[in-house]
Structure 1
Amino acid sequence: MTVRPSPGDLLIIDGRASVQFAGDRALTFRVVSVSDQPTYHGWIWLTGYVLNRRGEATTKSEIYVQLAGLRPAHSTPGPRLPRATRPNASPNDQGDGSAVRVGAGLRAPADAR
């Protein structure tokens, strides 16, 4: 990515962008702002958030990186939401009304007399 990043961009920051992010120190970074401060040719200051594997912001950072080493990241999944459950559903309920509570006094239709 030799195009100047914009706020909202999701980037992979690794050893290509700067040696300080080589190997296991690579990170996924959500850009918040891009500095207009003069730097060496081909380098840039970025402010943003380091994201964990679940796409959650963990740290706000200002980093100094080479434009030529920046790569767009694929979207990370957002935080997982809990599954919706029905409050009175039994573990065997498939949502079609066919579940039978064996020990709760309910009987299968064939046993009803």
Structure 2
Amino acid sequence: MVAFAAGPLPAGEHSRERPLPNGAEGETVPDDKPEKPLKAGEVIQLTTAASVQFLRPIFVRVIRELPERHTYDGWVWIEGYQLNAAGDAVAHRELYVMRAGVRLQSLPLKPTRPARRPRRPVRVG
């Protein structure tokens, strides 16, 4: 049997608990380190790992996290702009997502055209 020092959830993927110091096995304490909030200007990718509504992944440029909205542990409200394939803002959105499913990304790249080779004139005769 595993004992827990605090919290109703066992230590696991979505738990905010960590093992006790000094190698005490089978026990955990609440993680007192808050996760870093997303910063304005960061680009994130949202997939079904963040919420089931994102069957098609989207890119979002973060305006801010909305800490004044109380949520379940591990979930956050994010205000941001949805980006198209060119990296342009196409919609202003407020999104409720699972923090663990948010992935930091660089801007999506525009498709590039293959380089054109200069044509040489053809000699006839």
Question: In the alignment, which residue of structure 2 is the partner of 1:14?
Answer: 47
Structure 1 residue corresponding to 2:84, chosen from 42, 52, 65: 52
Structure exhibiting the larger radius of gyration computed from Cα positions? 1
Provide the rounded CA distance (Å) in 1 between the counterparts of 2:106 and 2:77.
Answer: 22
Extract unaligned runs of 5+ from structure 1.
79-113
Q: Percent identity?
A: 33
TM-score (norm 2): 0.56
Higher percent of residues as helix:
1
Matched to 1:32, the amino acid is I
Question: Equivalences for 1:89-108 in 2 at 5 Å?
Answer: none
Provide the rounded CA distance (Å) in 2 between the counterparts of 1:67 and 1:3.
Answer: 10
Q: CA deviation at 1:77?
A: 4.7
Higher RCO, Cα 8 Å, sep 6+:
1
Write out per-residue CA displacement over residues 49-104 of structure 1, whole angstroms, 9 at most, x where no aligned residue: 000000000000000000000001122358xxxxxxxxxxxxxxxxxxxxxxxxxx
Q: CA deviation at 1:32?
A: 0.5
Question: In the alignment, which residue of structure 1 is the partner of 2:74?
Answer: 42
Question: Equivalences for 1:22-37 in 2 at 5 Å?
Answer: 22=55, 24=56, 26-36=57-67, 37=69
Extract unaligned runs of 5+ from structure 2.
1-34, 111-125
Q: Give secondary structure in 2 for the equivalent of 1:49.
A: strand
TM-score (norm 1): 0.61
Consecutive aligned runs of 4 or more in structure 1 exceeding 6 Å deviation: none
Q: Give secondary structure in 2 for the equivalent of 1:20.
A: coil
Q: CA deviation at 1:6?
A: 1.5
